[in-house]
Amino acid sequence: MPFVKVYIHFVWSTKNRTQFLDNKELRIKVWNHIRENAKKKGIFVDFVNGYSDHCHCLVSLGVDQSIQKVIQLLKGESSFWINKEGLTKEKFEWQDEYFAVSVSESVIDKVRDYIKNQEEHHSKKTFQQEYDEFIRKFGFQKFEG
């Protein structure tokens, strides 16, 4: 039996950064649903939180899981559920784009704290500023296709 511990910090936004998740109760409902749905699908969500226009999710990948499949299951099912439950006034969608970065065991608590403190964090910084910071910090390059 393989022993695997590979943490990935996922970040994705709502379509066009629309502030669909504009109240705390709704966000809590969505984050709880993402966690419960992930568990049913064998995805270990260590921590999930976000703000009105985006989600952070710390996942420990299983031995047979890929980044692409995990993000597809988390985003696809949650947007379907949000719409089925009628939780937003307009049709809810997540943006296709997402970030996925590996997290070292030595900084896992820092990442959890960062995800946990999204409300406070975004009282000082917009998601666009956070996005630009991720691009710089992790050396991502945007390619126009």
Q: Is residue 38 scored above 60 in pLDDT?
A: yes
Q: Is the dihedral of CA 11, 14, 18, 21 positive or negative?
A: negative
pLDDT tens per residue, range 20-35: 999 999 999 999 999 9
Is residue 82 within 8 Å of 92, Cβ to Cβ? yes
Q: What is the pLDDT at residue 25? A: 96
Q: What is the pLDDT at residue 125? A: 87
85, 90, 136 from 58: Cα distances, Å: 25, 28, 20
Cα–Cα nearest to 121, from 40, 19, 49, 62:
49
Binning pLDDT at 50, 70 and 90, where does residue 135 land? Answer: confident
Quick one: residue 100, left, alpha or beta (phi over 0 = left, psi -120 to 50 = alpha)?
A: beta
84/120: higher pLDDT: 84
pLDDT tens per residue, range 42-80: 999 999 999 999 999 999 999 999 999 999 999 999 999
Cβ contacts of 99 within 8 Å, gap of 6 or more: 9, 10, 11, 12, 134, 138, 140
Q: What is the pLDDT at residue 144? A: 60
Helix or strand or coil: residue 13? Answer: strand
Would you identify the CATH topology of the domain 6-138?
Alpha-Beta Plaits (3.30.70)
Per domain, the residue ranges of the chain are 6-138
Q: Is residue 3 scored above 90 in pLDDT?
A: no
Is residue 16 within 8 Å of 85, Cβ to Cβ? no
